Every structure is written in structure tokens, then in C-alpha cells.
Structure 1
Amino acid sequence: MTNFTTRVELHQASAADYRQLILAMKKESFVTGNDKQTSGILTFKRRANVEIKEVIDAVVRAASTTGKKFSFTVMKDKPIDKPDTKHRLVLH
């Protein structure tokens, strides 16, 4: 499974437009930590076995339902390698 982070901003949009965006994004299998936000840039997450192109298409479909112009980014989350934790303290 791949994790994706998406940020979406609607241009010249009302609170109702943002509520519509959140509903449409949920229908496209995205989740948000703040579904009460009604302005600015909203962040969504999606975990799926799909290519990034499919995620981009889903964002465009969802944002288009608002009838507003929009900007967005989609990022494929990359796991962070854990640093080597097997360090030993040697006292002489």
C-alpha cells in the first residue's frame, strides 16, 4: 500500500464550496484530519495500491464538483529509514 498526501485550495470559494470539496474527496477515498475547515489549503490522505496518476485524477474529479478553480499538490509519501540504533558505548 502506498500513502499519498494531497493539498487542495479552492479559489474564490465559500464555506459551502469547501464542504462540497470535503464530501467529494471522501467519496474518492481520501480522509482529512479537519473536516470543519472552510477556507485555505486543505490536506487529505489516501492509502491505496494505485499509481500517482490515479490519485491525481481523483483529486481533479472531486475538486471539479465545486465548480470553482482550484490548485493542488499530490505527494507520494516515502518511508523514512530509521537510523542505526545499535550504537554501543564503550568505556576504556
Structure 2
Amino acid sequence: MSRAIQITGEKTGTVEGLLTFRGETHPATLDVTFNGSMAKHPMMGVPKIGFSARGSIKRSEWGLDFAIPELGDEVTFAIETQMVPADYAF
């Protein structure tokens, strides 16, 4: 769930929110890049928009503290997404 969005550049920003994993919720921040959009996708015929996001969490905050420090506590992740209108039928 997002709580705040901050624009940091022409195509970049941060999204602050809450991440729920394994029944626990903690704050998380994603660095987001706007990859582009099109009013009408050539094959799908609907608008489309794309984003990339990167972030990191400490797995110990979610009770996953096995083998720390050998395996490390910080986990970094990337999200690549393309979105179409919610009513589009694939």
C-alpha cells in the first residue's frame, strides 16, 4: 500500500508505503523509473504504461533471520511492470 509518492527527476521517483509479507507489515521505499507509455498498443489496441522499481528490505524484520550474517540480512529486488486498463480482457 503506497503512502507517499515523490518525483525526483523527469522519469524517476520514490514510492513509500507498507509491504506485507508472511503476515507482517513494515515500511518500504521503492525507487521507481517511468519507462514510457502509449495511447494505443499496436497489437492490444489499448493504452499501456510501464515502470521499473527497485528496493531492499531486511529479512530479519519479517522473522527470516536464519543464518545471519552468513547469508546476509539485506535482500534487494526489482519489479518490472507494464499496465493496461483494468477492464482489458487478455
* TM-score normalised by the chain length of structure 1: 0.24
Structure showing the higher helix proportion among its residues: 1
Q: Report which structure shows greater RCO (CA 8 Å, sep ≥6).
A: 1
Name the structure where strand makes up a greater proportion of residues: 2
User: TM-score of the superposition, structure 2-length normalised?
Assistant: 0.24
* Higher Cα radius of gyration: 1
